[in-house]
């Protein structure tokens, strides 16, 4: 005995026409009508969010204005860093970053002090010791 067909139409699938969705409870037109913008919430969220968040990854390529450097260290130096970090309850990365920032600060201070000494040495001012002039007799 042949089984009855369960399809709506007999024939190929290329003859199929789109079916009218009808009036369903969650139709797109009813959902669009039901959505009303909550201006208070939008205003509140806009006030909380900064205009440009430097900590945001955005595209995933940058983290604010920070840049990533990769360091390669020999095994002994790496173990020393890990031990020093463990003593301070820090990660090796955090300790290395702290040391680099301290060193950059030190270098900056040293460079500015050296620049000041250099600028002071190249002035047109002359400094004479007043006591040296008083001790020598003036020739007549």
- What's the chain's length in residues? 140
Query: pLDDT tens, 96-117?
Result: 999 999 999 999 898 888 888 7
Mean pLDDT value across residues 114-134: 70
Give the pLDDT confidence score for residue 96 in this predicted structure: 94
Query: pLDDT tens, 38-77?
Result: 788 888 887 777 665 555 555 555 567 888 888 899 999 9
CA atoms of 50 and 62, how far apart (whole Å): 18
* Secondary structure (3-state) at 122: coil
Contact 32, 26 (CB under 8 A): no
CA atoms of 139 and 118, how far apart (whole Å): 37
Contact 89, 81 (CB under 8 A): no
Burial of 92 (0-12, 13-18, 19+ CB in 10 A): middle
CA atoms of 81 and 97, how far apart (whole Å): 11
């Amino acid at each position: 005995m042949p089984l009855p067909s369960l399809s709506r139409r007999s024939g190929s699938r290329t003859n199929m026409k789109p079916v009218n969705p009808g009036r369903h409870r969650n139709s797109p037109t009813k959902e669009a009508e039901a959505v009303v913008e909550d201006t208070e919430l939008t205003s509140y969220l806009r006030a909380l969010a900064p205009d440009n968040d430097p900590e945001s990854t955005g595209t995933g390529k940058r983290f604010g204005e920070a840049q990533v450097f990769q360091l390669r260290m020999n095994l002994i130096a790496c173990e020393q860093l890990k031990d020093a970090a463990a003593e301070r309850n820090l990660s090796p990365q955090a300790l290395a970053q702290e040391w680099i920032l301290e060193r950059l600060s030190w270098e900056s201070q040293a460079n500015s002090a050296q620049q000041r000494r250099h600028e002071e040495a190249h002035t047109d001012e002359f400094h004479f010791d007043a006591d040296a002039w008083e001790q020598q007799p003036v020739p007549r």
